[in-house]
Amino acid sequence: MKLKRLGQQEVVFAIFAVLFAIFAIFLPGFATTQNMLTLLQNVAVLGILGLAMALIVIGRGIDISLIAALAVPPGLVLQMVQDGYSLPVSMVAAVALALVFGLVNGWLIAYAEVPSLFATLATGIFLAGFGQAVLFKLDVVQWSTGMNGFERLGQGAILGIPTPIIAFAVVCIVVALLLRQTRIGAYFYAIGDNPYGARVTGIPSRPIIVLQYVLAALIGCFAGFVLAASVSSMPTRIFNSTLIYDVILVVVLGGIGLSGGRGGVLNVIIGTLLIGTMLNGMTIMDISYSGQNLIKGMVLLVAVVVDSFLNPRNEETAQQGDI
Amino acid sequence: MQETIVRLKARYWPDHLLGEILSKRWTETAIPVIVLILVAFALSGMIDNFFTPAALSDTARQAGEVGFVVLGMALVVIVGGIDLSVGSMFALCDFCALYCLNILNWPVPAVVVATIVCGALLGAVNGFLIGYLRLRAFITTLITLIIYRSAYDLLLFGNSVKIASAMPDFPSWDFLGMGAVFGIPSVALVYLVIAVFGHIFMTRMRPGWHITAIGGSRRSAYNSGIAVRRTIALCYVASGALTAIGALFFAARLGTVGGDVGIGLEVTVLTATVLGGITLGGGNGSVAKALAGTLIVLLVTNGLTTLGVRGGFNRMVLASILLVAAIVDIRWLKNRTRIISKVYVSPTYHFLPPPPSTEVGKGGPFEQNDKLRDVTLIGEGRIEAPEDVILDRHDNLYAGSRHGDIIRFLAPDYQTMEVYAHIGGQPLGMAFDRQDNLYCCIGGMGLYRITPDRKIEKATDETNRSLYSVNDDSRLRLADDLDIADDGRIFFSEATVRYEMHEWPVDGLEARGNGRIICYDPNKGTTHTVLRGLKFPNGICIASDGQSILFAETFGCSIKRYWFDGPSKGKVEVVMDNLPGYPDNINLASDGNYWLALVGMRSPALDLAWRMPGFRKRMGKRLPIDEWLFPNINTGCVVKFNEKGEILESFWDLKGVNHPMITSMREHRGHLYLGGISNNRIGRYKLANADPDFVQYDRRWGKQS
């Protein structure tokens, strides 16, 4: 068989290309430079979160608490500045909070051996509750004058390219370098591919897992900065939204299997592009929010079903305990 | 003095119970239940009127609604999946119920059926995708979560006002929502019925076992022929239907369709499932766990709401409990077997006086000799582990083997060997009854009989369960040797009720009276235990009076007599004690005396260790099992004793060349046939002055004078 098997990556990319072509032909105002930039800008935060999630998923974990890391530390910056602290001090406090949060996540998963789904589910709820009960006065943390200049991270442009896109690109490059060029990146794949094997070969898997969650929390925090800067406030209720599901979909749809050890930055970009194109096209077509979600869900379902036919799993190849 | 304390402690302190309790499966549920009790206590301490009937019935209503969803989630998690779409399904079912009732004006029974069908269909979509198309549960139900939710939002858009404005008035509908029987809310009653059924379904019925098997190992389940795909799909259908039932009661109670119905429900339900101790990845879980988890979550959330805690604190507390419970539960599940293996072995005090001498030149009945050096060998290298041997009147020789067969060597030269019967467990003691059935104790299986036409029949594999035993001692773990009374009753020994067959030396380390003697009556088909608390009862032989049995207690180093009939019925008497070795099988000799095999000789080290339970307990905890001090079974002997308990003669193979290890012996036509459980041969020893026509069971049943 010379025929190269189509991976999920190729399938999703094909769907993206077809969708893009259809929109470009039939939707007036879609294939313009301006719209392209808007499209990218809208999905930049989603893409950055997708990269954080990708780091975890490659290591055979999942991080439900990313939205909390996105909402709470940046919210803390806004709140502290509002309360009179300087911006740098607030930033340091926020990053420290994200760092501690990542460490706790990592410790729970690597050392206490709580399944990542539940550990992050709980820590996410905890951090969101902590923000709500202790840190913030209002659900939407307001912008204050001390923050001036910071909004350029979300609303500015360099060489005509909006900064969120640049932020996404920078994180893409950093994560790609980490995964492909460093030993630690290779460890991520090894642990995701076979945790026990990785441990036996002498990889310090527990510290590496902690590092994954710390990195994810920091990237999530960065995504939060971009988000806060672009909307000039921090709507902490975002934790209650289905954003985390979108993030997981970006990652899984892009072809990073939840069983770990596969995929990379390219997959996140493809996943983000597909979601971005769909959302943008549907917004231009003026479909309601629920309708958009419905269509998005259907497309995702088709993608996953097609993938299951191209890369079938059966009782022999499925991994035990792999949900 | 100190030894007295040790002896009293070993005798009266129920040390062995801890390991037995821990090895019960229900102790897995212990952690969630303890957490539940702690939470309830803490909350009732903080809140007044927490346990009033009104508050309880309110909690019970909510617990019922969420409880149904948790049951569905538990089912799906046990089968190895996850269902994130329960929240959206809940919302859609809620809508379905109210739409049918308020807008279509259907009667209540039709609404109930329609809602459950709706839930089952929604679940069937998941089930089809995950079970038959084998998509990943997590990602699939994530997608259906979004699809169902947006469908609900779209449906709500056109109908919410109409539903809200309608005021249905059905007493039966109100009963669903607010009714109660004897103060117990309707929803709790229905939940109770379904939960009890669910428990029976999961623990006592075939589909339930299939579900657990698939969750435990999907591949093995598939390979053993379970319809994996259909079972998985049906689990999701059940999850949908259970969610629908929960939604039905919710709809009846509140009657609203809001935008936030069921949002985040999957998190609550998942929390309850994990808190209950149902392991992600499948294969482990129960209805009781689901119930415990549900109650913990609801008590905590309700309690915090009552306390007037801000939303954020509420979440923090819930998350902390989830985390702590998960950590404790994981540690507990992970280390449970290790803890059990550490505490299960529970040595006791066992004192034996110094043994009589066996040394050459010291005299005495046990004086070592080399009589057995001259045995001829049968089946050398062809048979493994013949624990017992027996011969029929045609001189054919039968012996058990490690492979689960009864092997027959054909007379006269015993060169031809055949599998007489394949049973599957290791045959131990054997005896012929009046009708020439060969009765045989099978280690790990029970008492079996092979008819003369070689049909294998189970005689018995269980006895009455004793009331105060923690371990279920109704099954026979290690039936060892037997003999048959004149009226056909079979008395057989079970060496230990605490260990499996291959762990029998550990029982010797424990030296507790774990064994028993059991009577099986083939005429009535009944089995009952006649004697308990024996130290590894082993060989059994009907005594010459026909009213009593002689039995050997291997680790008691004694032979005792038990009267099962006659004037002394029920009495136990010591025939011989303080033997220099561990007695095994007892059989009749042609001169009316008895043969006894000593499987191994005592050693001063173990004799001393038996007086030091603490020492042996430490050994069990700190050393790997292959470094423990075990009874020696490398060399032994055959002795002949009379009814008064006097040793008449002993037979040794001092050099250990031909037949060092002996577990049984059978006299037959002037020869003694020797079996040994670790041997690869059967020995045949020519007896001087023996009856050349003696066939044990022909003499026994009067077919031979």
Residue A320 falls within a domain, yes or no?
Answer: no
Residue A39: inside a domain: yes
Q: What does the DSSP 8-state code read for residue A195?
A: H
* Residue in B143, B218, B318 nearest the CB of A304: B143
Dihedral, B103, B109, B111, B113 alpha carbons, nearest 10: -160
State the pLDDT confidence band at A195, using cuts at 50, 70 and 90: confident
List, for residues B525-550, the tens digit of each pLDDT value: 999 999 988 999 999 999 988 899 99
B494 beta partners: B479, B516
B27 and B21 in contact (C-beta within 8 Å)?
A: yes
Kindly report the average pLDDT of chain B as a whole number: 87
Whether residue A42 contacts residue A277, with contact meaning beta carbons closer than 8 Å, is answered with: no
Please indicate, yes or no, whether residues B94 and B189 belong to a single structural domain of this protein. yes
Per-residue CA distances from B533 to A1, B496, B516 (Å): 70, 9, 6
Of B136, B154, B282, Cβ closest to residue A258: B136
Among A114, A116, A314, the residue to mutate for chain B (most B Cβ within 10 A): A114
B317 belongs to a structural domain: no
Domain boundary among B296, B323, B351: B296
Task: Provide mean pLDDT across the span A266-273.
Answer: 89
> Is B27 domain-assigned?
no
Per-residue pLDDT at A318: 57
Give pLDDT, residue A6: 61
Across B203-217, B463-477, B513-527, least confident range: B463-477
Report CB contact under 8 Å: A114, B153.
Answer: no
A214, pLDDT greater than 90: yes
B166 pLDDT higher than 80: no
pLDDT, tens digit (0-9, with 9 covering 90-100), for B234-258: 999 999 999 999 998 888 888 777 7
Tell me, yes or no, whether A228 lies in a domain: yes
Task: Give the residue on A whose Cα is nearest the Cα of B317.
Answer: A126
Select the residue of A122, A128, A308 nearest B323 (Cβ to Cβ): A122
Place of tokens 């009720």: B497
Distance CA B547, CA B540 (A): 13
Q: Which amino acid is at A266?
A: L
Which residue on chain B is closest to A117 by alpha carbon? B280
R_g (Cα) of chain B, nearest Å: 34
Q: Is position B201 within any domain?
A: yes
Chain B residue whose CA is closest to A312: B134
Residue B194 to chain A, least CA–CA distance (Å): 27
pLDDT number for residue A8: 66
What average pLDDT does chain A have? 83
Look up residue B420 and give its amino acid.
Y
Amino acid code (one letter) for B565? D
- The enclosing domain of B620 has a CATH number of 2.120.10.30
Task: Judge whether residue A1 has pLDDT over 50.
Answer: no
Mutate to test the interface with B, among A64, A309, A323 (most CBs of B within 10 A): A323
Provide, as residue numbers in chain B, all residues whose Cβ is less than 8 Å from the Cβ of A314. Answer: 134
Q: Which residues of B touch A241 (CB under 8 A)?
A: none
What count of other Cβ atoms lies within 10 Å of the Cβ of residue B271? 27
Question: To the nearest 10°, the Cα dihedral for B613, B619, B620, B625?
Answer: -140
Q: Quick: pLDDT tens for A87-105.
A: 888 889 999 999 999 999 9
B269 within some domain: yes
What confidence score (pLDDT) does residue A157 get? 77
Count of domains for chain B: 2
Does residue A3 lie within any of the structural domains? no
User: Does residue A63 lie within any of the structural domains?
Assistant: yes
Assess if residue A22 is contained within a domain. Answer: yes
Chain A residues in contact with B81 (beta carbon < 8 A): 323
Please report whether residue B681 resides in a domain.
yes
Tell me if A315 is assigned to some domain. no
Chain A touched by B153 (CB under 8 Å)? yes
pLDDT at B447 over 80: yes
Residues 6+ apart with CB under 8 A from B612: B6
Contacts A119 to B, Cβ<8 Å: 323, 326
Q: Residue B141: inside a domain, yes or no? A: yes
Q: What is the pLDDT of residue B405?
A: 92
* CATH code (residue A87): 1.10.3470
Q: Which of A290, A300, A312 sits opposite B154 (nearest CB)?
A: A290
B456 has pLDDT over 80 = yes
What are the helix (H) ranges across chain A?
Answer: 8-26, 33-58, 66-82, 87-106, 116-130, 152-155, 163-181, 183-193, 195-200, 205-231, 243-254, 265-284, 289-310
Domain count for chain A, please give it: 1
Helix (DSSP H) and strand (DSSP E) numbers for chain A:
13, 4
B43 in any annotated domain: no
d(CA B90, CA B123): 11
Helix axis angle for B311-344 and A116-130, nearest 10°, is 150
Closest Cα in chain A, distance from residue B509 (Å): 36
Per the CB < 8 A criterion, the answer to whether A58 and A50 are in contact is no
The full DSSP string for B255-267 is ----TTTTTTHHH
The C-alpha atoms of residue B560 and residue B173 are separated, in whole angstroms, by 73
Q: Which tokens in the block code for residue B318?
A: 């819930």
Residue of B82, B140, B145, B146 to mutate for A, most A C-beta atoms under 10 A: B146
Structure tokens at A308: 């299951």
Question: Is residue A119 pLDDT above 50, yes or no?
Answer: yes
Within the 95-114 window of chain A, which residues sit less than 8 Å (CB to CB) from chain B? 108, 112-114
Six token digits for residue A66: 């990313």
Asked if A291 reaches chain B (Cβ–Cβ under 8 Å), the answer is yes
Predicted pLDDT of residue A222: 92
Greater confidence (B329 vs B421) lies with: B421
B566: left (phi over 0), alpha (psi -120 to 50) or beta: left
3-state secondary structure of B428: strand
Q: Which residue of B has its CA nearest to A244?
A: B142
Q: What share of chain A is helix, strand, coil (3-state, %, to 5)?
A: 75, 5, 25
With cut-offs at 50, 70 and 90, classify the pLDDT of residue B605.
very high
Position B76 confidence tier, pLDDT thresholds 50, 70, 90? very high
Distances (CA, A) of A88 to A68, A219, B252: 21, 18, 55
Instruction: Kindly report, residue by residue over A232-261, the tens digit of the pLDDT.
Output: 888 877 777 778 878 888 888 887 877 777
User: Is B128 at the interface with chain A, CB within 8 A?
Assistant: no
State how far the alpha carbon of B225 is from the alpha carbons of A315, B131, B204, B212, B228, in Å: 12, 16, 19, 14, 8
Domain endpoint, select from B296, B327, B353 = B296
Structural tokens at position A272: 């983000």
Nearest to A323 among B137, B157, B331 (CB): B137
Contacts of A275 in chain B (CB under 8 A): none
Domain containing B272 equals 51-296
Are the beta carbons of A72 and A97 closer than 8 angstroms? yes
Position B323 in a domain:
no
ipTM: 0.79
Residue of B nearest to A307 (CA): B135
pLDDT tens track for B345-378: 888 999 999 998 888 888 888 888 888 888 899 9
Same-domain status, B379 and B291:
no
A124 contact residues in B (CB cutoff 8 A): 319
Cα of A292 to nearest chain B Cα, Å: 8
- The model's confidence at residue A314, banded by pLDDT at 50, 70 and 90, is low
Distance from CA of B492 to the nearest CA of A (A): 45
Asked whether residue A271 is assigned to any structural domain, the reply reads yes
Phi/psi of residue B528, nearest 5 degrees: -150, 155
Q: How far is B70 from chain A (nearest CA, A)?
A: 16
B150 vs A240, A297, A318: nearest CB: A297
CA B87, CA A245: separation in Å to the nearest integer? Answer: 14
Contacts of B258 (CB under 8 A, 6+ apart): none
Q: Are residues B289 and B378 in the same domain?
A: no
The partner residue sitting opposite B313, judged by closest CB among A129, A312, A318, is A129
pLDDT at A317: 54
What's the pLDDT at B440? 95
Please determine, for residue B288, whether its predicted confidence score (pLDDT) is greater than 60.
yes
Q: What residues make up the domain containing A246?
A: 8-309
Q: pLDDT-derived band of residue A3, with 50, 70 and 90 as boundaries?
A: very low
Domain finish residue from B296, B319, B346 = B296
Whose structure tokens read 């048979």?
B383
Q: Which residues are CB-neighbours of B357 under 8 A, at least 6 positions away?
A: B363, B364, B366, B367, B580
Q: Look up residue B602 and give its amino acid.
A: R
